[in-house]
Amino acid sequence: MHDDAPPREIDIATAEGDICINEDELPTVTDTELARFRLTREQLNQLFAAGMELMRGKTIRDRVRPVAAETLDGNWEVRIVRYSPLNDSLTQRRRPLGPRSKN
């Protein structure tokens, strides 16, 4: 079980707080949510793809996740962040996208 692949998801640090988007949710992100996160659909897909590339070969045991954040110059970057299951502040702060409204 410890060699299982980690969930296919990315954490994104936004001005509204940290959000977690898994692969199944990508097509359901609304235009309103994208505007709120200050992302285009293309950027979201690129960030997710970059995160999955960085996670290639990682397992749950590695205790890492991809995290995207906007840089000071307005670009986005994705990094691998290590976490501890005992005090994982990202898990405590991140929130799922929540109920969907039609755009």
Asked if residues 80 and 8 have their Cβ atoms less than 8 Å apart, the reply is no
User: Region 61-70: what's the mean pLDDT?
Assistant: 94
Segment 7-57, tens digit of pLDDT: 999 999 988 788 999 999 999 999 999 998 889 999 999 999 999 999 999
Most confident of 78-82, 85-89, 94-98: 78-82
pTM for the structure as a whole: 0.79
Tokens linked to 80:
């691998």
Tell me how far apart the alpha carbons of residues 53 and 60 are, in angstroms, rounded to a whole number. 16
Mean pLDDT of 74-85: 90
Give backbone dihedrals phi and psi of 66, rounded to 5 degrees, phi first. Answer: -80, 135
- Confidence band, pLDDT 50/70/90 cuts, at residue 3: confident
Report residue 66 as tokens: 């991809």
